[in-house]
Structure 1
């Protein structure tokens, strides 16, 4: 089932890229080009082909990332230290591979499309997807597969909530042994780990209260009225992950500055470094290379040193790594504010600050990304119940997407409230008349508050407790 799901997502991704390739190659599907300032609108078929390809790429990409990461991590066993360390390294390598793909597409593919042919650029990506699909299928005999539980994650959580509300007038017993749970054999048949009862969010415990009505007939099998402690704890895990997830959304909003205000800042600087002209947008490639350097440094230097210091097998915990990433993002925003302040002072003196001043903030952002994003994916995977690995991974990835929307909202509000009464505001078209440094200081403050809330949340986070492995 897992292999078929991955194959379906890759096929969907490949179909999208192929559709876009055809729309740029086939004359009847190709969108008309602009000539001498005159542009012709695309017809219905051309619009349908182009946007169908884009949506298929979006759905396929989201599905592959959400399912492939937990599927790859499942190939490692938790029974020994070496395998657990390899699993941790897998998350880093997976993220590095994503960055390598992004670097290749934003440099080589873009150059081919701009200088040779759009169809050739899209065609190369389609071939890459085909190669990836073939490679994935060739490894099928060696994969370690987990049997599906038969119940969707969202349905299971919804059953707990409805069952708890149906018994809202009842009082949850203080002794958790009085709550409903199945034996190990039954749990194994449903592909679940039995989870230990926790004292948090006791309202949800009402879903596991066994009443006289539940004992009648086949009512014990009605999961919409009675849920096991394990199912209740699975719902509690999602609630406990929510503050960590919100912190990730705010972190991602700050991270998005690299593709927006950082580029705008660089455009107002001297783009020459010695004899080389550096386009502001190309510094994102430097950030990608820096991420790889940070990951290599962490795996080879930082993690081994942390293991010796903390005298444990993993060194820094996942929550500690997320916190380090949050701190580094705060430092990156403060660095960007300092650079912008220097740029404004140079502009007032009639000089241009070199774009090389932006390199430190990109490098620090890369470090925050290497610590926070990788650890966040790993943390959500490790804390997710066995039946919710893909869903929790998707939730972790969703935080990055929602961060983009939050960044847009913050930027819109700043422009609206600072550009009143004829004032150019903080972020006008001519940055020399604005105060982009104030905007970066605002983000620094937001990141500081986010880090403070995260530290409080992570210190009080209760990890899941497995009663017995049944898989």
Structure 2
């Protein structure tokens, strides 16, 4: 029984548990952690420019370098969790690094401000302490990202139908907790930083990381914790090496002749994977050519090991569509802001900062999660007859459809804005016309991001769940890089011959609408590729 292979932190077996009680601690922990994370992210460029006196280029470079570290560090956390410490201890260890980094940044805010134009280069104690804390925070935040969601899902037993439904619901509320933290940071924390200074403004996120650690530890008595199952990288390499050594060996037509462990108890989490006909050259790793191989895992692997690698390879095309998706989603924090700066920001007696509209993304997620969980899922369940309503891939696909609508809405708004800007005697367009595209971004996140997270957790072999969660997070970073590449290519192609291009400094002289239409077309092409890949994908078959 898989549930008996899960132990608590004291080594006592749990045969029953209140999974939602344990997950409540995890959800509150995640909310506090994201509140602290976004409390730094939203105003980081402002701090670099106003406090450390960096220029625009240096501040932008330091921001993107930090952001990249936040989404590369999950690979480190995932390998440590899957191979050595398990998800509970890995989360706790990286939380400590996280807290030390936040505390260092908070203390640095009280140091005297440096006078040079580039504080990072002039070696001031303030900038040194701040960047040391910033990158400690990035490593801590990145290290826990692939562990927390997987650890929450570990609280449910897939062999129990009711638990499978609860696990699906958990992923919805996990993202709800993330965006509650994002919304509070984007409104209250940013306001405190602007009005009460950075000592208080950085102290508040530090306090919430302390709250996150305390909440996480309070739930320790309720958690089910899986033992680490060995290095997933080593298992993958063993299959590749064993198959390469036997490149000239013929795979038997009878699959039962391939090597497999003698009983379920010796397999990962008590489960075996059935043989599939795809990627048959990898099956060579499970062909028994001599008795001496039985004791050498680098010469002979089990069918389950081979199938685990096939699962990972099979997920890669769907993983790649996530990169394109996040390159489109990156516009809500870049070109959407540029579009908003050219619009009429006055609404009654208030002037709305363009960056504030990004909060509609969080509001949209907070709105859509309970609608999806309590209304759409029961309705889909009645229509499809399936317990979860929509499959992970159907949910991901729905999010990709919404991403097409996001860029279509942005393009239509920009087309109308340009028409008003070029017309004589016509008023400028209100910034509130951007609300629909931000609202669609939030809806897309609820479908695509949650669906992607569920897919990688459910399909990943048990020994690789943290690693696969880290790979899913990596699509965010790669999507940002792809977005930068597309913007650079468009700027180069459209400014040839002395033309202002599609995205000039003065957007009234350009055609940002064409850029948005290009991304809408790219999203539609990505959707078509995803549908083709999803139809060909074979789900893992456990017995």
Same fold (TM over 0.5): yes
Question: What TM-score results when the alignment is normalised by the length of structure 2?
Answer: 0.81
- SS of match in other structure, 1:466: coil
Shift of 1:40: 9.8
* Residue deviations 1:103-127 (CA, integer Å, cap 9, x gap): 2222222222221121212111111
- SS of match in other structure, 2:496: coil
* Residue deviations 1:329-377 (CA, integer Å, cap 9, x gap): 0111111111110001000114311111111111111111110001100
Q: Using the alignment, how far apart are the partners of 1:451 and 1:80 within structure 2?
A: 33
Tell me, yes or no, if the aligned pair for 1:32 and 1:40 is still in contact at 8 Å.
no
* Equivalent in the alignment of 2:402: 328
* Equivalent in the alignment of 1:207: 285
Shift of 1:417: 0.9
- SS of match in other structure, 1:110: helix
Unaligned runs of 5+ in 1: none
Tell me, yes or no, if the aligned pair for 2:264 and 2:272 is still in contact at 8 Å.
no
* Equivalent in the alignment of 1:4: 89
* Equivalent in the alignment of 1:194: 272
Q: Using the alignment, how far apart are the partners of 1:170 and 1:232 within structure 2?
A: 16
Verify: 1:384 aligned to 2:463, yes or no: no
* Equivalent in the alignment of 2:99: 14
Q: Match for 1:444 among 520, 530, 536?
A: 520
* Equivalent in the alignment of 2:308: 234
Verify: 1:259 aligned to 2:333, yes or no: yes
Q: Using the alignment, how far apart are the partners of 1:146 and 1:39 within structure 2?
A: 45
Tell me, yes or no, if the aligned pair for 1:148 and 1:191 is still in contact at 8 Å.
no
1:85-124 alignment, distance < 5 Å: 85-124=165-204
Shift of 1:50: 2.0
Verify: 1:223 aligned to 2:297, yes or no: yes
* Equivalent in the alignment of 1:164: 243
1:51-450 alignment, distance < 5 Å: 51-149=131-229, 151-188=230-267, 191=269, 193-212=271-290, 215-216=291-292, 219-350=293-424, 351-450=427-526
* Residue deviations 1:237-272 (CA, integer Å, cap 9, x gap): 110110111011100000000000001011111112
* Residue deviations 1:400-435 (CA, integer Å, cap 9, x gap): 121111111111111111111110000000001000
* Equivalent in the alignment of 2:36: none
Q: Using the alignment, how far apart are the partners of 1:211 and 1:160 within structure 2?
A: 15
Shift of 1:463: 0.4
Question: What TM-score results when the alignment is normalised by the length of structure 1?
Answer: 0.93
Q: Using the alignment, how far apart are the partners of 2:435 and 2:193 within structure 1?
A: 28
**Paired positions, count:** 456
Q: Using the alignment, how far apart are the partners of 1:262 and 1:156 within structure 2?
A: 44
* Residue deviations 1:191-242 (CA, integer Å, cap 9, x gap): 4521111111111111111112xx12xx322221111111111111110110
Shift of 1:31: 4.4
Q: Using the alignment, how far apart are the partners of 1:342 and 1:90 within structure 2?
A: 41
Q: Using the alignment, how far apart are the partners of 1:39 and 1:133 within structure 2?
A: 32
- What is the RMSD of the two structures over their aligned residues, measured on CA atoms? 1.7
- SS of match in other structure, 2:498: coil
Q: Using the alignment, how far apart are the partners of 1:422 and 1:43 within structure 2?
A: 41
1:33-52 alignment, distance < 5 Å: 42-43=122-123, 45-52=125-132
Q: Using the alignment, how far apart are the partners of 1:410 and 1:141 within structure 2?
A: 49
Q: Using the alignment, how far apart are the partners of 1:89 and 1:31 within structure 2?
A: 48
Q: Using the alignment, how far apart are the partners of 1:332 and 1:39 within structure 2?
A: 39
Unaligned runs of 5+ in 2: 1-84
Of the structure 1 ranges 361-370 and 426-435, higher mean CA displacement relative to structure 2 is found in 361-370
Pair 1:40–1:247, CA change in 2 (3 A):
closer
Q: Using the alignment, how far apart are the partners of 2:118 and 2:274 within structure 1?
A: 68
Shift of 1:75: 0.4
Pair 1:186–1:220, CA change in 2 (3 A):
farther
Q: Using the alignment, how far apart are the partners of 1:285 and 1:152 within structure 2?
A: 40
* Residue deviations 1:372-411 (CA, integer Å, cap 9, x gap): 0011001100001010110011111111121111111111
Tell me, yes or no, if the aligned pair for 1:207 and 1:232 is still in contact at 8 Å.
yes
